[in-house]
Amino acid sequence: MDWENVKESCLRCTECPLCDTRTNVVFGQGNPKADVMFVGEGPGENEDIQALPFVGRSGKLLDSMLGEVGFFRESNIYIANIVKCRPPLNRDPFPEEQEKCIRWLRSQFLLIRPKIVVALGRIAASRIVDPCIKITRDHGKFVYKKGTWFMATLHPAAILRNPGHKEAVKHDLELLKNKLIDIQESLSCIVF
């Protein structure tokens, strides 16, 4: 399936009970040819209404922090979530819901083929980086899995709750930027 087919099918998905309470499916946003993909946990209220990921308060903070290191959803990154429909009252998505929905993220990943995937927060980190991850201990560490680098950082909502986390995320994003430069340089075929 190509990108548009996957997106169209996802927008009609009724594979789990979250379809009953959603306003919109939030497929994702950004450049499907991006080298870096960010993955959050699931849409909140604003995302559900606007059908776009990370557009509420934590999304604004994320955009501004990404912008500081040269990442923009309009150009060089892609942003998606583990579940595409909002869990009621913003509860954590249940494991069964994550298991049903992960096929869409998998399709996005296979079509984008990003060089680096960054998990935002505990739910995404434990689903796509390492089930045993402890985000306060392991954020900013790169893990290589079958051709792709993975890294987790704290969720922007965690920074809003505790501004003391901001420096850690800033540092992780600097590491991300440098990692991408390293990868791009190592893939460059110009040798003189």
Contact positions vs ligand SF4 (CB under 6 A)? 10, 13-16, 18-19, 25, 83-85, 97, 100-101, 104
User: What b/e readout covers 31-48, taking b as 16+ CB neighbours within 10 angstroms?
Assistant: bbebbbbbbbbbbbebbb
Kindly tell me which of 84 and 165 has the beta carbon lying closer to ligand SF4: 84
d(C-alpha 43, C-alpha 11), whole Å: 14
Q: Which amino acid is at 28?
A: G
String marking each residue 15-54 x if it binds ligand URA according to CB under 6 A: -------------------------xxxxx--x-----xx
Select from 66, 62, 64, 106 the least CA-distant residue to 84: 106
Q: Which does 28 bind (CB under 5 to 8 A by kind): ligand URA, ligand SF4, none?
A: none
**Closest to ligand URA by CB, 38 or 149:** 38
State the residues that interact with ligand URA by CB under 6 A: 40-44, 47, 53-54, 58-59, 81
